[in-house]
Structures are given as structure tokens and as C-alpha cells.
Amino acid sequence: MKYVLDTNIVSEITKPQPDSRCLSWLSEHVGDCCLTSITLAELCFGVERLPEGKRKRDLSRKYRFLPQDLQDWVLDFDQAAASEFGRYAAEFESARGATGLEEADIRDLQIASIARCQGWIVATRKAKHYPFVDTVNPFDY
């Protein structure tokens, strides 16, 4: 079984006192986890919007090496994911009964589309953001 880590899982492990259940789950599944290029973009955006200071420097240092250290574990939003995104986004809108997606919806849908292309499970604290794809919540362990 393989897992795509949502951004909230990756950001949890950079906290001064990360949730022990999440860390425990990650240590059990570390060899079966990957990130997406969308998560990397969200992490970089989160750092860039912080005011200058110690927190921004610390997070920037932690995230700077993720693409290099995890290059074999980063799934890109490629042509297959783009095609899946079209199907997934239409399902999402139809189920919600509304049209028009918000920016955060789009990023989550992109992550979900990558996971669906791979047949993998999204590890997230916010399963409701990922309808129509299998999820697991590492904070429940």
C-alpha cells in the first residue's frame, strides 16, 4: 500500500512538538510514502508568505532540501494527472452542487488526481477535502 502525504502531514512534522500519533504512523509507513509537486509548492508558498524572522528562516532551511532529498519520492502533476484532474474536478463540483472551484480546492484536487493515477491513498488530516479517493488520517493512530 502506498500513501501520498497531504501538505498538513508534512507541515506537522516540522512543528516544534509534532503530534506523536502522526509521527508514529509515519515511522511505520515511511517506506510507502511520497509527496507531490503540489505539496512542495504549498510548503514553499507557506514559507514565502511568512514575515521575515526566525520561523521563516527555520522553515525555509527545512524545506529547501525536500526536493533534493526526496526527489525519488516526489510525484509530479503530469499529463496523466491533468487528465484525471478534469474527471475528478467535475465529480467534485457535481457532488457539491456548485460550480467554480476555490484555489485551495484546486490544489487538493490536484493532489487527489495524482493519488488516483497511482492508485494510492491520501494521508491527510482533512479527509473531507478528498472525496472520491481513499484516505487515512495519521492523527487517528
Residue 52: pLDDT above 60? yes
Mean pLDDT of 94-108: 80
Average pLDDT along the chain: 89
Q: Where along the chain do its domains lie? A: 3-140
Q: Which CATH number fits domain 3-140: 1.10.20.10, 3.40.50.1010, 3.40.50.10490, 3.40.225.10?
A: 3.40.50.1010
What sign results for the dihedral spanned by CA atoms 32, 36, 12, 88? negative
pLDDT tens-digit profile of 18-43?
A: 999 999 999 999 889 999 999 989 98
The fraction of the chain above a pLDDT of 70, given in percent, is 93
pLDDT at 63 over 80: no
Q: What is the pLDDT of residue 84?
A: 94
Q: Is the pLDDT of residue 67 over 60?
A: no
